[in-house]
């Protein structure tokens, strides 16, 4: 069994949202794409487009407005929403344990040991407070507990949204020595809150069954939930989050994890960076408060070449950055520069040092709590509060200069690394300029291997990155020339996880991709590593490789390249992976392409059983085994094909996984492979 068997699942981890697209027949793939458009269409509705509807009907009418979408991500958002309420109770200081159970019937239970949602009569509404919380939109916010509520982005829509989108929900409150309960169907109470028993415990227990008439995907993914629970445990030291999956796997086992962090971000940064080689073992750690803003920061330096900043505001991953990151960067540059200058360490460097040089090989997690966060940006994950940058800059600046003064050995190692980074940056610029000068591509020309499409409209244009020249040839013949361009890749592209930037820019394959896409680096930004997408020529970039372990490896190399060099391509949802079929099943005149073993089995069951049926199936191992028409029909034609969209739902986990898979350390990689191998059966 080859070592790379895990890669297809790896895609699934970073692109979970598309896992559900494995529908049953080819026809359904087509249907899914329309479904997808429908989902996107809904998500684009802005608040102004929506009339304010009464109560939870609004949520059921336009679910995507409240939870982002109605497929994989939206489904998992339900769990986050319920857990966030318990986290709020923990942040208020009244709860330290949260249990999450994915039940056998695919309902979810969330139980905490907080004070319990109040059940007494709400004066205005003449209803129990519990009923108000569960049935009135945004009622959650009415109880101001004086803490930093987890809200913003898509978060904080309230548990009533979960209720509205569940065919059934049961709330139980342990409080005043009693147990209270109320049940709901589609958000509507089935009876008044009632006492159902006695208990000396306190807390809240919520169980919900997502409404399968609303969600296109209703099966929860353990890893997806686990990643978020792990993240929450790191971000909120001291809380224990227990996760259990009661659905048995093939061996009849259930899964269970307990997430608990004593040292918070200090442990988080060690976890993210566990596969990297460090310049020194220390975590530079800050846990303080400035201008009323709690600030926690953990920093590690490694021998790698990328900058990995992970930032959170009120437990929300601010993927687009914002004022807290600005403050952090400024403090880092200022203090390191001053330290190096004061100690006359830069003189021998012979290059100008730039801000970005201070961040090469840096992994940092920043978590702050803001009472009234303003979230901006395309995905509402960019912090806008202007008062924050100064506070973070001051906190980080003070702590960093103390660290540097007290650790001269480590400080020298950091400064030496900074100088190397500056020299590499200059070399990278030269390499880029040389490439542009010597190649026939300068002046807007395109790489010779690119078969471009005729459209010049990026919105409709697609670039296929195809494994190998021969499959590239088939794709060139099979494609729709109007909007589909083909760029063949020769073999495995450079593993950028292990290469300096200038090495990447010296690689032909890398340059071809950058050139074909029309991406420019260091334009409109002080940072030469920031990709500028203004002139991007295709808004779909589709990686198309063989359905085998090597193909998956190439997928991963290309994804790593995009993730490290132009994450915005992924953030904007432009990166996809094509999925060629695994089998062509034929019986007489009936022909069916199959993408999974289950589909193939179904074909065999339908058209002739047992051993004999398996004799009528042809296993495709390579794109090259299909002729151009077949390739078009199954893998490229937007009507039939199934694309997996690569997304960055959890950028921190992606960083951890990319560095583990592509880095130096063999142990964790092997473990991951063994856990996630998917090609084991078909390539054996
Ligand atoms: C407001 C007031 C109080 C508790 C809560 C909210 C609460 C809400 C949730 C949601 C999930 N778990 C929760 N635990 C507590 C109690 C106020 C008091 O007892 O004085």
First vs last C-alpha separation in the chain: 6
- Smallest CA-to-CA distance from 595 within 180, 28, 17, 4 is with 28
Strand partners, 645: 576
Q: How many domains does the chain have?
A: 4
538 inside domain = yes
pLDDT band at 438 (very low <50, low <70, confident <90, very high): low
Q: Give the CATH number for residue 346.
A: 3.30.230.10
Round to whole Å and give the CA distance between 337 and 335.
5
Contact 182, 189 (CB under 8 A): yes
Average pLDDT over residues 113-126: 89
pLDDT at 40 over 60: no
266 inside domain = no
Tokens of 681: 């059966």
Q: Give the CATH number for residue 63.
A: 3.30.565.10
pLDDT at 365 over 70: yes
Residue at which a domain ends, from 399, 429, 459? 429
260 C-alpha to center of ligand 1: Å? Answer: 22
Within this chain, do residues 469 and 536 fall inside the same structural domain, yes or no?
yes
160-190 burial, b at 16+ Cβ within 10 Å, e below that, comes to bbbbbbbbbbbbbbbbeeebbbbebebbebe
Average pLDDT over residues 63-92: 94
> Picking from 6-10, 163-167, 407-411, which range would have the lowest pLDDT averaged per residue?
6-10
Within this chain, do residues 101 and 54 fall inside the same structural domain, yes or no?
yes
Share of the chain above pLDDT 70, in %: 86
Average pLDDT over residues 349-376: 92
Q: Taking all residues of the chain, what is their mean pLDDT, rounded to a whole number?
A: 85
pLDDT at 107 over 90: yes
Q: What's the pLDDT score for residue 514?
A: 94
Tokens of 192: 């008044």
- Provide the residue range defining the domain that includes 318: 278-429
pLDDT digits (tens, 9 = 90+) for 222-255: 999 999 999 999 999 999 999 999 999 889 999 9
Round to whole Å and give the CA distance between 150 and 315.
7
Average pLDDT over residues 307-334: 95
Within this chain, do residues 344 and 366 fall inside the same structural domain, yes or no?
yes
The residues, ordered by sequence, that sit 6+ positions from 46 with a Cβ below 8 Å of its Cβ are: none
**Residue among 117, 130, 161, 177 whose CB has most ligand 1 atoms within 8 A, to mutate:** 117
Q: What's the pLDDT score for residue 611?
A: 53
The residues, ordered by sequence, that sit 6+ positions from 339 with a Cβ below 8 Å of its Cβ are: 401, 404, 405, 411, 415
**Residue among 85, 92, 130 whose CB has most ligand 1 atoms within 8 A, to mutate:** 85
Distances in Å between the Cα of 496 and the Cα atoms of 71, 199, 361 are 33, 57, 13
pLDDT digits (tens, 9 = 90+) for 292-303: 999 999 999 999
Contact 479, 553 (CB under 8 A): no
pLDDT at 49 over 70: no
Within this chain, do residues 154 and 33 fall inside the same structural domain, yes or no?
yes
3-state SS track over 379-439:
CCCEECCHHHHHHHHHHHHHHHHHHHHHCHHHHHHHHHHHHHHHHHHHHHHHHHHHHHHHC
The residues, ordered by sequence, that sit 6+ positions from 246 with a Cβ below 8 Å of its Cβ are: 101, 102, 103, 104, 254
Q: What's the pLDDT score for residue 257?
A: 98
539 inside domain = yes
pLDDT at 218 over 60: yes
**Residue among 84, 87, 88 whose CB has most ligand 1 atoms within 8 A, to mutate:** 88
Provide residues with CB under 6 Å of ligand 1. 85-86, 89, 112, 114-118, 143, 145, 204
- Smallest CA-to-CA distance from 72 within 110, 10, 22, 7 is with 22
373 inside domain = yes
> Picking from 33-37, 133-137, 349-353, 678-682, which range would have the lowest pLDDT averaged per residue?
33-37
545 inside domain = yes
475 inside domain = yes
Q: Rounded to 10 degrees, what is the CA torsion of 669, 670, 671, 673? A: 90
Say if residue 97 is exposed, middle or buried (CB neighbours under 10 Å; 0-12, 13-18, 19+): middle
Please state at what angle helix 408-438 crosses helix 386-406, rounded to 10 degrees: 120
Residue at which a domain ends, from 396, 429, 462? 429
- Annotated active-site residue 665? The verdict is no
197 inside domain = yes
183 C-alpha to center of ligand 1: Å? Answer: 18
Within this chain, do residues 633 and 606 fall inside the same structural domain, yes or no?
no
94 C-alpha to center of ligand 1: Å? Answer: 9
pLDDT at 65 over 70: yes
Altogether, the residues listed in the chain come to a count of 684
Task: Please name the residue that has the structure tokens 């709400």.
Answer: 122
Of 89, 550, 555, 592, the active-site residue reads: 550
Query: Beta strands 583-587 and 590-594: pairing type?
Result: antiparallel
Average pLDDT over residues 354-359: 91
DSSP code, position 632 = I
Within this chain, do residues 564 and 587 fall inside the same structural domain, yes or no?
no
Nearest CA to ligand 1 atom 14: 116
Round to whole Å and give the CA distance between 632 and 647.
25
Within this chain, do residues 62 and 186 fall inside the same structural domain, yes or no?
yes
Distances in Å between the Cα of 319 and the Cα atoms of 325, 380, 403 are 10, 9, 28
- Annotated active-site residue 546? The verdict is yes
Q: Give the CATH number for residue 479.
A: 3.40.50.670
The residues, ordered by sequence, that sit 6+ positions from 334 with a Cβ below 8 Å of its Cβ are: 393, 397
Q: Which bin fits 662, alpha (ψ -120 to 50), beta or left (φ > 0)?
A: alpha
- Annotated active-site residue 550? The verdict is yes
Other C-beta atoms lying within 10 Å of the C-beta of residue 113: 20
Q: What's the pLDDT score for residue 150?
A: 55
Nearest CA to ligand 1 atom 4: 117
Distances in Å between the Cα of 530 and the Cα atoms of 174, 321, 499, 525 are 52, 14, 17, 7
Share of the chain above pLDDT 90, in %: 60
Contact 35, 216 (CB under 8 A): yes
Round to whole Å and give the CA distance between 185 and 168.
4
> Picking from 197-211, 415-429, 656-670, which range would have the lowest pLDDT averaged per residue?
656-670
> Picking from 50-54, 187-191, 308-312, which range would have the lowest pLDDT averaged per residue?
50-54
Nearest CA to ligand 1 atom 7: 117
pLDDT band at 625 (very low <50, low <70, confident <90, very high): confident
Q: What's the pLDDT score for residue 574?
A: 96
Verdict on whether the full-model pTM lies above 0.85: no
Say if residue 622 is exposed, middle or buried (CB neighbours under 10 Å; 0-12, 13-18, 19+): middle
Within this chain, do residues 206 and 292 fall inside the same structural domain, yes or no?
no
Within this chain, do residues 387 and 475 fall inside the same structural domain, yes or no?
no
pLDDT digits (tens, 9 = 90+) for 546-568: 988 888 889 999 999 999 999 99
Round to whole Å and give the CA distance between 296 and 179.
38
Q: What's the pLDDT score for residue 19?
A: 29
Report which listed range, 95-104, 351-360, 441-450, is most confident. Answer: 95-104
Q: What's the pLDDT score for residue 437?
A: 59
Round to whole Å and give the CA distance between 489 and 159.
48
> Picking from 18-32, 416-430, 570-584, 654-668, which range would have the lowest pLDDT averaged per residue?
18-32
- Annotated active-site residue 653? The verdict is no
118 C-alpha to center of ligand 1: Å? Answer: 6
Q: What's the pLDDT score for residue 322?
A: 97
Task: Please name the residue that has the structure tokens 């009464």.
Answer: 54
**Residue among 93, 147, 171, 204 whose CB has most ligand 1 atoms within 8 A, to mutate:** 204
Residue at which a domain ends, from 361, 394, 429? 429
Within this chain, do residues 615 and 637 fall inside the same structural domain, yes or no?
no
Nearest CA to ligand 1 atom 19: 115
Within this chain, do residues 110 and 157 fall inside the same structural domain, yes or no?
yes
92 C-alpha to center of ligand 1: Å? Answer: 9
Within this chain, do residues 530 and 654 fall inside the same structural domain, yes or no?
yes
pLDDT band at 140 (very low <50, low <70, confident <90, very high): very low
Nearest CA to ligand 1 atom 5: 117
240 inside domain = no
406 C-alpha to center of ligand 1: Å? Answer: 45
Q: How far is CA 243 from the centre of its chain?
A: 20
Contact 172, 181 (CB under 8 A): yes
């Amino acid at each position: 069994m080859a070592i790379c068997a895990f890669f297809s699942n790896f895609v699934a981890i970073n692109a979970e949202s598309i896992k559900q697209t494995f529908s049953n027949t080819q026809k359904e793939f087509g249907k899914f794409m329309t479904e997808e458009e429908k989902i996107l269409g809904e998500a684009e509705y802005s608040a102004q487009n929506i009339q304010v509807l009464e109560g939870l009907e609004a949520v059921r009418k336009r679910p995507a407005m409240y939870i982002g979408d109605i497929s994989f991500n939206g489904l998992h958002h339900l769990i986050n929403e319920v857990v966030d309420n318990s986290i709020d109770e923990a942040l208020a200081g009244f709860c330290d344990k949260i249990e999450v159970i994915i039940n056998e019937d695919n309902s979810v239970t969330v139980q905490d040991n907080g004070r319990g949602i109040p059940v007494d009569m709400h004066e205005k509404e003449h209803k129990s407070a519990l009923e108000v919380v569960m049935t009135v939109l945004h009622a959650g916010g009415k109880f101001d507990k004086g803490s930093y509520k987890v809200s913003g982005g898509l978060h904080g829509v309230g548990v009533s949204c979960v209720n509205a989108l569940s065919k059934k929900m049961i709330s139980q409150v342990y409080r005043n020595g009693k147990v209270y309960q109320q049940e709901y169907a589609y958000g509507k109470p089935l009876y008044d809150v009632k006492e159902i028993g006695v208990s000396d415990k306190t807390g809240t227990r919520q169980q919900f069954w997502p409404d399968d008439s609303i969600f296109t995907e209703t099966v929860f993914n353990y890893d997806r939930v686990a990643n978020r629970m792990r993240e929450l445990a790191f971000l909120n030291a001291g809380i224990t989050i227990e996760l259990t999956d009661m659905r048995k796997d093939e061996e009849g086992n259930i899964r269970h994890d307990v997430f608990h962090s004593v040292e918070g971000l200090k442990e988080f940064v060690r976890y993210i960076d566990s596969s990297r080689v460090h310049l020194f073992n220390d975590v530079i750690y800050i846990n303080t408060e400035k201008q009323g803003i709690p600030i926690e920061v953990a920093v590690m330096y490694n021998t790698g070449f990328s900058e990995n900043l992970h930032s959170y505001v009120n437990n929300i991953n601010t993927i687009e950055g914002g004022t807290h990151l600005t403050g952090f960067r400024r403090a880092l540059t200022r203090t390191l520069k001053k330290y190096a200058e004061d100690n006359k360490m830069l003189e021998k460097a012979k290059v100008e040092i730039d801000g970005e040089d201070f961040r090469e090989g840096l992994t940092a997690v920043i978590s702050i709590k803001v009472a009234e966060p303003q979230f901006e940006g395309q995905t509402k994950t960019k912090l806008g509060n202007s008062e924050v940058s100064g506070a973070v800059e001051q906190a980080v600046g003070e702590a960093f200069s103390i660290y540097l003064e007290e650790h001269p050995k480590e400080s020298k190692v950091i400064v030496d690394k900074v100088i190397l980074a500056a020299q590499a940056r200059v070399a990278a610029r030269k390499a880029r300029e040389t490439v542009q000068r010597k190649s026939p591509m300068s002046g807007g020309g395109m790489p010779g291997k690119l078969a471009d499409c005729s459209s010049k409209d990026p919105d409709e244009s697609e670039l296929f990155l195809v494994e190998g020249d021969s499959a590239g040839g088939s794709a060139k013949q099979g494609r729709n020339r109007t909007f589909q361009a083909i760029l063949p890749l020769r073999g495995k592209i450079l593993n950028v996880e292990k290469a300096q930037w200038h090495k990447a820019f010296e690689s032909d394959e890398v340059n071809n991709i950058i050139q074909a896409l029309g991406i420019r680096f260091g334009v409109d930004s002080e940072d030469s590593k920031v990709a500028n997408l203004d002139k991007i020529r295709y808004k779909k970039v589709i990686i198309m490789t063989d359905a085998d372990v090597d193909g998956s490896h190439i997928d991963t190399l290309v994804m790593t390249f995009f993730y490290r060099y132009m994450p915005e391509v992924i953030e904007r949802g432009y990166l996809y992976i094509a999925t060629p079929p695994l089998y062509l099943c034929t019986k007489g005149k009936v022909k069916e392409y199959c993408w999974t073993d289950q589909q193939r089995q179904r074909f065999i069951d339908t058209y002739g059983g047992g051993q004999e049926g398996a004799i009528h199936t042809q296993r495709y191992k390579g794109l090259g085994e299909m002729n151009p028409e077949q390739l078009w029909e199954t893998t490229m034609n937007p009507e039939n094909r199934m694309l997996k969209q690569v997304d960055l739902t959890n950028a921190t986990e992606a960083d951890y996984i990319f560095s583990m898979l592509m880095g130096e350390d063999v142990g964790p990689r092997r473990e991951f492979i063994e856990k996630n191998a998917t090609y084991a059966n078909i390539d054996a």
